[in-house]
Amino acid sequence: MELEHVWFSYGREPVLQDISLTVGRGDFVGIVGPNGSGKTTLLRLILGLQRPQQGRIRLFGQDLRSFRRWERIGYVPQKATSFNSDFPATVQEVVLTGRIAPRGLFRPLGRKDRELADRALALVGLEAYADRPVGRLSGGQQQRVFIARALAGQPELLVLDEPTVGVDAAAQQQFYALLRRLREELGITILLVSHDIGAVTTEVSHLACLNRRLFFHGPPEQFPADSLSEFYGHPVHPVAHGH
Ligand SMILES: Nc1ncnc2c1ncn2[C@@H]1O[C@H](COP(=O)(O)OP(=O)(O)OP(=O)(O)O)[C@@H](O)[C@H]1O
Ligand SMILES: [Mg+2]
């Protein structure tokens, strides 16, 4: 994925200013930045949901304006966990909807799709919940359903917007272990927005610090830790998570 001098604004004030960023196959990029710094907007540009006013974006080597292979990308949006308790679908059915884009809207889902959905559920550790109504799961479990839904599409690029909000410490460790496995075993490229700076810096291959502009992009060990507070505009103390 390549962004070249990308500018974007919703109104008059630019939300993203002159962003240039290259992500290689198999990279794990953590995007950090304060509230309102443009992280979700950046993801929406990459997913083709918004168009940059200036600059260009390439996905898998192809210009975004002519890119059509959206099934190669899995997306877990911010605040995705909002099924109410009588939402009329089981966990497996929700995960199966992740097969619709790769399969094509008008082709019926088959045994292969069910297998891929079950495999995705196993990856996130929810195979025992397949037949439960999704609205009866806890918030953290629902978050994992959304991740499984994205994985069911067998994406090459996985884009996650704050997926560990509301997830307890144990589930968070499992979540990062899962991302590590996806990357190592399946070679999936990962783009992760998170406020959990401690976890992000120990897990990712590359860190992107965004606050309307891209302040830093590179391996986390090259990030000058003492400039983190300056970047956020208030004291920040990353907590290293032991693995
Ligand atoms: N649809 C919209 N219309 C107008 N302005 C918007 C819209 N979406 C976001 N903004 C503004 O753009 C800026 C960046 O928002 P964005 O959602 O990208 O931030 P973020 O970094 O994801 O923040 P957070 O950490 O709170 O999720 C904010 O100032 C926000 O108010
Ligand atoms: Mg956001």
Residue with CA at minimum distance from ligand 1 atom 31: 36
- The lowest-confidence range among 98-102, 166-170, 197-201 is 166-170
pLDDT in tens, 155-180: 999 999 987 777 778 878 888 888 99
State what percent of residues in the chain have pLDDT above 70.
94
Span 147-155, average pLDDT: 93
The rounded Å distance from CA 31 to ligand 2 centre is 10
Q: Residue 242: its pLDDT value, please? A: 47
Residue 186 pLDDT > 90: no
Span 183-201, average pLDDT: 90
Residue from 16, 37, 51, 159 whose mutation best tests the ligand 1 pocket (most atoms within 8 A of CB): 37
pLDDT in tens, 8-45: 999 999 999 999 999 999 999 999 999 999 999 999 99
The residues placing their C-beta within 5 Å of ligand 2, an ion, are 39-40, 78
pLDDT in tens, 73-92: 999 887 666 677 778 899 99
Residues with C-beta less than 6 Å from any ligand 1 atom:
10, 15, 33, 35-41, 78
> How far apart, in Å, are the Cα atoms of 133 and each of 27, 67, 148?
35, 36, 15
> How far apart, in Å, are the Cα atoms of 157 and each of 88, 189, 235?
30, 5, 33
